[in-house]
A and B are shown apart, each in its own frame.
Chain A
Amino acid sequence: MLKLPSVPGGAPPRPGTPAAEPASLKDNASEAAISALGWLDERTAISGTARWVMFRKVPKGTNWFYTLGTSTMMAFLSQVVTGVFLAMYYDPSPNNAYESMRHINNDVFLGQFVHGMHRWGATTMVVLIFLHMGRTFFFGAYKYPRELNWVIGVILVLLTMIMALTGYLLPWDQRSYWATAVGVNVFASAPIAGPYLGDFLRAGPEFGATTLSRFYAIHMLLLPGLIGGLIAAHLYLVIKHGTTAPPWIEAEIDEDLRKSEA
């Protein structure tokens, strides 16, 4: 726009127009945040996904039983976090495993507390996942169209139980050693596949040194990845199909809706 030379002495402000205030810090900050999000959204289109996840409607009648799934997932995340801290100090060799656990318990800052969180977090997760499964069963929530999600859930239960079994051995104390030795023998006693499964778990014919590193790899590399991936698939399907309404809630016929459809 063409700018006219200013009137000498300055023009008096026109009546009715407020003097332009300099932009405040708050305005600048929100402007920067919005433009950063805009930059991100332009490249990922994430706002649609976020809206799809966060602002989807949940059927009426949803009660406290519906919080068990989230709780199980958070217990798993707690296991991941405490597990990472334990892995910083743990040594999965038969000669040092027990000493490294003693080191965690006795010397490391909050070591025994984090170890305890991991141990009791496992118990909590097992209890929660079974409660969640019970809720799904008694509410009939495994039926059409959510059959596949039930199957994923049962696999998650199985993986959680294997996680608990493999983790139990890692402290390498008398309790864990003998309980796991007997547990593996139970698997190995199965007909047909048993001997192969036993050899695989023990990493050889004898329960011993190599078994520990095998259990460690299964416990902290294989299973967490599998469980994380399956949780993602589980959540995707939950959001796609929506959470069920409690079975005693009846859908009332909506007169407005019927009129608009007619």
Chain B
Amino acid sequence: MNRREKEQYLREYAVLKAKGKPFFPYVIAKDGAMVMIVIGIILTMSYLLGGTIAAKADPTSTTVVPRPEWYYYFVFELLRVVKPAAITPLATVGIPTVCLILLLLLPFYDRGPERHPLRRPIATTAGVLTILVTGYLTWMGAEAGAPTEIAMPPSANVVNKEDPETVELYLKGREELPSLGCLACHQIGENGNHGPGPKLTDIADRLPEAGIAQTLRNPTAPMPSYQSLEPEKFKAVVTYLGHLTKENEENPVEGGGE
């Protein structure tokens, strides 16, 4: 804005202001009504949802999949979307930092006198796109890797060809595994976080069942040991992991994706 435009704005604003209403009581009443609604929402949410707490923090056991509050899901999702490890920091810290700086400096590079959203096509489009992308990432973050189940269907190769006992263990392992926190660091199919642990989608191609059991008992740091798991659960998880091969992944049971 040059000097003439600044002066014109101030003149027009003075006219609008002179024709306006006093803050008290008109604006106070409106603000007050809205504040009542907000306080009402907080009270209702507290009454319905309460302040729950989970089990006590235990640095030695990773039985939970780390989940931030939902308004941080977009950062969490960037962590998953950006695959190559070399540029992960760029995505998780770089992109939010750049966005923050762009936001902070907004009035210094957008200096036009126009204020109407429809006559500022670039700013309005950028704003709407930012909202859409953040909303999409938040939604993806909420959907992705639901910690309660593995969306990858069980394999037809296992379910139809193995003996019933193994199939039972395989299916049990598939259900138990997400509650053990493996997906915090490993990925199975589309589920779980990409890294720091290796992908488990085809782990059985690389490690025999005994090797998997050995790793679970005596892992390399920072993975925690699953030595203390109940033997039955342990066996089920090992059986499930022991059947994760590329070939099995490509032959899912029909309609088994839940």
Name A's B-contacting residues (CB within 8 A): 53-62, 64, 66-68, 70-71, 74-75, 78, 94, 98, 101-102, 105, 112-121, 123-124, 126-128, 134, 137-147, 150-151, 154-155, 157-158, 161, 164-165, 168, 171-179, 181-183, 186-187, 189-191, 194, 207-208, 242, 244-245, 247-249, 251-254, 257
Contacts and interface: CB of A to CB of B under 8 A. Distances in A.
A173 B56 contact: yes
A211 B43 CA distance: 31
Contacts of A254: 15, 18-19
A190 B89 contact: yes
Contacts of B64: 174-175, 178
Contacts of A102: 53
B27 A58 contact: yes
A179 B42 contact: no
B38 A74 contact: yes
Nearest to B75: A186
Interface stretch (B28-36, B161-169, B211-219): B28-36
A123 B46 CA distance: 11
Interface in B1-40: 1, 6, 9-13, 15-24, 26-28, 30-31, 33-35, 38-39
A175 B38 CA distance: 27
Interface stretch (B105-113, B202-210, B233-241, B242-250): B105-113
A194 B89 contact: yes
A50 B28 CA distance: 14
Nearest to B88: A189
B71 A249 contact: no
Contact of A251 (B15, B46, B50, B54): B15
Contact of B16 (A59, A168, A181): A59
Contact of A242 (B1, B17, B106, B131): B17
B93 A151 contact: no
Contact of B49 (A120, A139, A242): A120
A113 B256 CA distance: 42
Contacts of A143: 1, 107, 110-113, 115
Interface string B53-64: 111111100111
Given A116-B49, A176-B54, 8 more contacts: A57-B21, A58-B17, A62-B27, A113-B51, A178-B66, A178-B181, A244-B13, A245-B20
A159 to B, nearest CB: 12
Contacts of B113: 143-144
Nearest to A51: B24
Nearest to A171: B53
| Most A CB within 10 A of own CB, among B69, B114, B181 | B69
Contacts of A139: 115, 117
Contacts of A176: 54, 57
A257 to B, nearest CB: 7
Nearest to A168: B69
B19 A124 contact: no
Nearest to B19: A60
A74 B104 contact: no
B41 interface: yes
Contact of A59 (B13, B43, B45): B13
B225 to A, nearest CB: 17
B92 interface: yes
Given A102-B53, A138-B124, A70 B35 contact: yes
B16 A134 contact: no
Contacts of A251: 11-13, 15-16
Contacts of A146: 107
A76 to B, nearest CB: 11
Contacts of B84: none
B72 interface: yes
A166 to B, nearest CB: 12
Given A105-B53, A174-B58, A186 B79 contact: yes
B56 A172 contact: yes
B17 A57 contact: yes
A100 to B, nearest CB: 11
B83 to A, nearest CB: 15
Contacts of B35: 67, 70-71, 74
B22 A55 contact: yes
